[in-house]
Structure 1
Amino acid sequence: MRRVTSCLALSVLLVAGLAGPGLAEEPVLEDIEVPTDFVPIDDPFVLDPGATDGGGAGATEQPAVTEADVAAGTSRFVPLPPTRVLDTREGKGAPKAIVPPKGSVVLQVTGAGGVPATGVRAVVLNVTLTSATGPGFVQVYPTGQGVEGASSNLNVLTRGQTVPVLVTAPVGDGGRITLYTHGGGHLLADVSGYFLASGETAAGRYRPLTPARILDTRTGVGAPKAMVGKGSAITVQVTGRGGVPGSGVSAVALNVTATGAPASGFVQVMPSAGSTAAGSSSNLNVVARQTVANLVVVPVGDGGAVDVYSSSGTHVLADVAGWFTDDSGTPSGTGLFVPVTPERLLDTRSGTKPGDGAQVPLSPRGKAGIPADGVSAVVLTVTATSPVAGGFVQVLPTGQGTVGGSSNLNLERVGQTVANAALATLGDGGGVTLYTLRSAHLLADVAGWFTGGSTSGELPPELQGLRVAERSTTPYDPAAWPFPTGSCLDTAEQALADADVFEPTLSDDGCSVVDGLWRDPWAGTQHSAVEEVRAVHVVPLPNAHASGGDTWDAAKREQFANVVDQLEVVSNGTAAARADRAPEAWLPTVDSCGYAREWAALKKAWDLSVTTAERDALAAALAGC
């Protein structure tokens, strides 16, 4: 199998109470009640890491964009170190002046901050409004191609407030984007990547997942059960968890939440052990006792990990939404991005207000320039407004997520308006579901979509009918799954004989293989010594045990363990690397598609369950077939 390479986007949410999935943004309503205890942040804590406005500082050299790439209409993601390209407080990228209410800034994004001058379809920015002059919203749209007020990206409630949000902004006329502010304030923008015109490619393709929580310092998930200390950072393993494969990943998409901060500050997410200095940039700002979330797309660092830094100390949660491939995989046309002019797909204010626990369906396909098929995920800004009480909103693929298992935005008080971005995976029927814990109006604006197969948004046929369940915690006893049996030419020896490229050489008594030539199907290497290879189960026995096999009788366990068709002959190195890992933690470097098909077929044939993360990893591998 080939190794699956990926990159994922991470959104960090800081919460003081409930945390949930989703990102939403909408115009601020005029009748919002301003809380009297709000403490504004004077500065967004986003520092300029020394980049310039020149063309391409800090950028990695990319292959030239061909006419075929441009004609394809699709694009691949290229991450960048966070670089300030706009700050109206200092005159960077725009005049040095506060942007007045109902004013706008036209920002040149191509040729700046490491973004190439040509071939760019969209840019990924962390946009911040600070020193707000009043309640309102900020809208980001392609210059010359959008309508003011037709969509929104972030909302502010009070004078002096600071609010950041991640924006995937389609590039408009002349390589520019327009930032419109309804209420006025200073505008800042830090670029962290871009989408470059591309046809089939290995790197930069997005692999959507069912959102999964991989970090919660309140409960000890993914890190010690303790608040991230003031001026401190924790390391969070992202590859091999939550459906992200163990290799082939360039970046991840996370929804990051901060909660319970004792003082105002900021949270920064960065590649582990990378060159980015702690405190040199920020992904979200938090006020004391506030719960706030933001979407983050961050390259993975050493060992597939990211570091999460807090300036003031806070609890942090992170839900993974997907990942981007690196250049180690096979080129494909799936997972490429197609931007659209932002357009509103959902606004419940024109109808009945969703009640407590409501699940609001959204069908993006066939709307706003999105095709009716071949779509795997969409880029949304999700906004919740006029809630009856504090709660959260979760965005999940229809029929494929667990309500309450993740979150995208948090609401803390009656009448609040909160928005966030979401990379929304399409589920059954190509749909997305927006869940709200407490009654609130919901809005959703779309900015683009990612390519998928013809059954995009639905499970591949190989995975349909698989039973989804958590793994059993019953202890595994190797003696209950006898393999090998030690008999003459037992199943393990028979597998060695069958896998020999030529005719195997047997021992004098014919009971074991002593010589031959084998090709490792999971690594593509050849081995001529029997001591270098071994027979392993496609579905490891401990996994079978935890997936329903713990209820089998002894005869069925022995039968499963000794079916030759369930065995592959691989090198000792491959066997050790895979060990008992499931697909969400390990996929082969060669033919991951065939591996996924074989794994799924065995699970079906023996009525063994899969976890959601396991199923998502299999779906990602099958999407590249």
Structure 2
Amino acid sequence: MSPIPALSSFGRRRFIAGAALGAGAAVLGVTDAAAQVAVPPGASRFVPLPRQIRFADTRNPAEYPFGMLPDAIRVQITGREGIPDTATAVVLTITGVNRSEGNFLSVYPTGGARPEVSNLNMSFPLEAAANLTTVRLGQGGAVDVYAFAPSELIVDVAGYYEPVSEPVSEGRFTVLNDALRVIDTRATGVPMPGEVVEVFVTGAVPATASSVAINLTTTGTLAWGYFTCFPLDVETPPDSSNLNVNGPGETRAAAAIVKVTTDAQGRRGFKVFTYGGGHVIVDVAGYFTGSDAPASVNGLFVPVNPERVLDTRRPGQIGRLWPNWVVEAPVPGEGGVGAQAIVGNVTAVEARGPGFFTVFGAGLLLREVSNLNADVGNQTIANHFISRISTRGIAVYSQSGAHVVIDMAGWYIGQPAVPFRTYQNPPPPAAAPPWRIEIPALRSRNGQRVGWVSRVLNGPPDPIVDAGHTWHWTGTGFMGQAAHVGTFAHRTEAGAPVYNMHELRPGDEMYMYVDGRLGDRRRFRYRIVRTDLVLNVRESNSANAQKILRATRLHPGTTLSLIGCTLPNGLPTSLDHRIIVTGELVDWVEV
């Protein structure tokens, strides 16, 4: 993406444009039998443009025209740059420069209803982001680009799909068994602003491959800027982008489909231009066949209208993933039984923290590659992907946790793999304080208020409880552990927060809330099962502490105990004795 000039208004919204794709890990063999299979309706082969070409730019409508709709732009695809009227789908990069707060863009066929899918997400004003998109062409060979809120829009086209009626050699997609890293400049030094990095794929893909599907990652960026992929035999970077960053120190990933050419030394590859500087990491996910490949239907593309395959936010779904969790979803329709791979968009919503996401075939081997990278907690970010599928469908691994959304744009003909393993998700991580405790049945000292809420903190006990808070007894369990958790609060001092704790009865409930760090918003529910008294423990020493803690462990299982000072009859209060109200864990939910 070129530097942003002064903005101009377009109706009630403003728009812009840019690019991206994703790494998958899969396999695909072309069989003789596949060559004899009838071509399904809509099956198409990929045709790359000589280089990525800008088709629309809301910053410069005179040079890159588009049609205006109330909240979208319409981009004509066919009839330009040699794209025939018969083209079925287009591969393009959309770039948005956000003019609002949380925002998203959707690309869909002209004439169709806007689907419940997003292709690009932006979180803050002036954020520039790009993503690769594969979309079916609509009425008149056009697509519409919708913006939820004001944004500049840029649309760059990398290639298109044209229909075929018989097995073909060129333009079929082959997914590699494992995504292959072909360059990582962290081993050689960070590319400087304006530098062009040559990326060679000789040995990674056949010499006749026409294009490669890659995941382009940058880390340790030096400044605001963008990265552009273009063929080896093109001298000047095109006026387009594949990956955008918004400042120094960022880690971002984007997918791209890049035409492969040969340099003077006979090496096959492409170039990456970095406007602002930053490391360049390229993983090859697969390639499109050249003219020397055997004729087959295997790897032909079947476009579909954008379809949501997975959304963990929906009722009945797994919910927001925890660190190191895997979620699976079946592939709907004919693709579930007649595809080797699918193409689509993967979105992480409300990331729990920095981390990466990997898309792979359900029940297949999980490799250490990434399709998507989150920089910070609570981020929403998307990337294009092509991934192998199995007869069980598609899966996503999350390093740090998030909601996950998968939208499918089409599939590549072939056989789904046979799954051979099941992933067991680990328990969510334990959460140390700060927490928030709530006991609805606990009355205030004067009895005028029912229900008590307090912060629970770690540290030296006296400053915490003297400030009216609740102390997490050092050495007892954390939320999320199968352990006994001990807490202590004043009965008569600091506002007498637990003055009437002796009134609590079996069956009353206690709630403990994790404070939401890194997106952890669990609520643990406990039901009171017993009340105990421990006498003659006034002196502060290890022996007396152990007597008190033993009482918190009298009930088996996972428990929460509230401890306070007491008279021997349980009423307030004496420093000589302790009252312990214990509840057992009933369940937990994320709220």
What's the TM-score once normalised by structure 1's chain length?
0.57
- The structure-2 alpha-carbon separation of the partners of 1:95 and 1:332, relative to structure 1 and needing over 3 Å to count, comes to closer
Letter in 1 for 2:139: D
Distance in 2 (CA, whole Å) between partners of 1:45 and 1:73 is 27
Which digits, 9 at most, give the CA deviation of each residue in 1:65-101, with x for residues without a partner? xxxx99842100000021111112222555698x87x
- The structure-2 alpha-carbon separation of the partners of 1:261 and 1:279, relative to structure 1 and needing over 3 Å to count, comes to farther
Kept in 2, the 8 Å contact 1:211–1:396? The answer is no
> Does residue 421 of the first structure (1) align with residue 389 of the second (2)?
no
- The structure-2 alpha-carbon separation of the partners of 1:71 and 1:291, relative to structure 1 and needing over 3 Å to count, comes to closer
> Does residue 393 of the first structure (1) align with residue 357 of the second (2)?
yes
| Paired residue secondary structure (1:315) | coil
Distance in 2 (CA, whole Å) between partners of 1:173 and 1:444 is 25
Distance in 1 (CA, whole Å) between partners of 2:341 and 2:182 is 23
- The structure-2 alpha-carbon separation of the partners of 1:327 and 1:422, relative to structure 1 and needing over 3 Å to count, comes to same
| Paired residue secondary structure (2:298) | coil
> Does residue 282 of the first structure (1) align with residue 267 of the second (2)?
no
Kept in 2, the 8 Å contact 1:270–1:276? The answer is no
Distance in 2 (CA, whole Å) between partners of 1:301 and 1:309 is 16
| Paired residue secondary structure (1:392) | strand
Which digits, 9 at most, give the CA deviation of each residue in 1:552-594, with x for residues without a partner? xxxxxxxxxxxxxxxxxxxxxxxxxxxxxxxxxxxxxxxxxxx
Alignment of 1:445-594 (within 5 A): 445-452=407-414, 455-458=415-418
Aligned counterpart in structure 2 of residue 308 of structure 1, from 267, 272, 278 = 272
Aligned counterpart in structure 1 of residue 75 of structure 2, from 90, 107, 130 = 107
User: Can you give the 5+ residue segments of structure 2 that lack an aligned partner in the other structure?
Assistant: 1-14, 20-37, 421-591
> Does residue 441 of the first structure (1) align with residue 403 of the second (2)?
yes
| Paired residue secondary structure (2:285) | strand
Aligned counterpart in structure 1 of residue 47 of structure 2, from 78, 81, 94 = 78
Distance in 1 (CA, whole Å) between partners of 2:255 and 2:203 is 20
Name the structure 1 match of 2:288: 324
Kept in 1, the 8 Å contact 2:128–2:244? The answer is yes
Higher helix share: 1
- The structure-2 alpha-carbon separation of the partners of 1:43 and 1:335, relative to structure 1 and needing over 3 Å to count, comes to closer
- The structure-2 alpha-carbon separation of the partners of 1:154 and 1:450, relative to structure 1 and needing over 3 Å to count, comes to same
Distance in 1 (CA, whole Å) between partners of 2:78 and 2:18 is 25
- The structure-2 alpha-carbon separation of the partners of 1:257 and 1:71, relative to structure 1 and needing over 3 Å to count, comes to closer
Distance in 2 (CA, whole Å) between partners of 1:127 and 1:382 is 15
Distance in 1 (CA, whole Å) between partners of 2:185 and 2:210 is 28
Which digits, 9 at most, give the CA deviation of each residue in 1:239-277, with x for residues without a partner? 312xx33x22111000101111111111111222x1251
| Paired residue secondary structure (1:355) | coil
Alignment of 1:192-271 (within 5 A): 192-198=158-164, 199-217=166-184, 219-220=186-187, 225-241=188-204, 244-245=205-206, 247-271=207-231
Name the structure 1 match of 2:57: 87
Alignment of 1:23-42 (within 5 A): none
Distance in 2 (CA, whole Å) between partners of 1:85 and 1:281 is 10
Kept in 2, the 8 Å contact 1:124–1:191? The answer is yes
Q: Deviation at 1:311? A: 1.6
Distance in 2 (CA, whole Å) between partners of 1:188 and 1:45 is 5
Letter in 2 for 1:235: E
Higher strand share: 2
Distance in 2 (CA, whole Å) between partners of 1:276 and 1:218 is 21
Kept in 2, the 8 Å contact 1:43–1:162? The answer is no
Distance in 2 (CA, whole Å) between partners of 1:44 and 1:373 is 35
> Does residue 126 of the first structure (1) align with residue 81 of the second (2)?
no
User: Can you give the 5+ residue segments of structure 1 that lack an aligned partner in the other structure?
Assistant: 1-41, 47-68, 465-625
How many residues align? The count is 379
Name the structure 2 match of 1:374: 338
Letter in 2 for 1:75: S
Kept in 2, the 8 Å contact 1:227–1:314? The answer is yes
| Paired residue secondary structure (2:280) | strand
Q: Deviation at 1:309? A: 1.9
Distance in 2 (CA, whole Å) between partners of 1:253 and 1:371 is 20
Name the structure 2 match of 1:558: none
Identity level (%): 34
| Paired residue secondary structure (2:94) | strand
Aligned counterpart in structure 1 of residue 259 of structure 2, from 299, 310, 313 = 299
Which digits, 9 at most, give the CA deviation of each residue in 1:362-395, with x for residues without a partner? 221xx1x434422111111000011221111111
Kept in 1, the 8 Å contact 2:130–2:242? The answer is yes
- The structure-2 alpha-carbon separation of the partners of 1:44 and 1:84, relative to structure 1 and needing over 3 Å to count, comes to closer
Q: Deviation at 1:321? A: 1.2
Kept in 2, the 8 Å contact 1:129–1:186? The answer is yes
Distance in 2 (CA, whole Å) between partners of 1:436 and 1:448 is 23
Which digits, 9 at most, give the CA deviation of each residue in 1:188-227, with x for residues without a partner? 101110000113110000001234241453553xxxx211
Kept in 2, the 8 Å contact 1:127–1:190? The answer is yes
For the aligned residue pairs, the C-alpha RMSD in angstroms reads: 2.6
Kept in 1, the 8 Å contact 2:353–2:400? The answer is yes
Which digits, 9 at most, give the CA deviation of each residue in 1:156-195, with x for residues without a partner? 1112221111111100111111111101212110111000
Distance in 2 (CA, whole Å) between partners of 1:399 and 1:75 is 28
- The structure-2 alpha-carbon separation of the partners of 1:277 and 1:430, relative to structure 1 and needing over 3 Å to count, comes to farther
RCO (CA 8 Å, sep 6+): is it higher in 1 or 2?
Answer: 1
- The structure-2 alpha-carbon separation of the partners of 1:119 and 1:412, relative to structure 1 and needing over 3 Å to count, comes to same
Distance in 2 (CA, whole Å) between partners of 1:336 and 1:315 is 34
Kept in 2, the 8 Å contact 1:210–1:400? The answer is no
Distance in 2 (CA, whole Å) between partners of 1:178 and 1:45 is 15
Distance in 1 (CA, whole Å) between partners of 2:150 and 2:175 is 35
Distance in 2 (CA, whole Å) between partners of 1:260 and 1:43 is 26
Letter in 2 for 1:87: D
| Paired residue secondary structure (2:313) | helix
Looking at CA atoms only, which structure, 1 or 2, has the larger radius of gyration? 2
- The structure-2 alpha-carbon separation of the partners of 1:178 and 1:187, relative to structure 1 and needing over 3 Å to count, comes to same
What's the TM-score once normalised by structure 2's chain length?
0.60
Distance in 2 (CA, whole Å) between partners of 1:376 and 1:418 is 26
| Paired residue secondary structure (1:174) | helix
Kept in 1, the 8 Å contact 2:226–2:243? The answer is yes
Kept in 2, the 8 Å contact 1:113–1:191? The answer is no
Name the structure 2 match of 1:333: 297
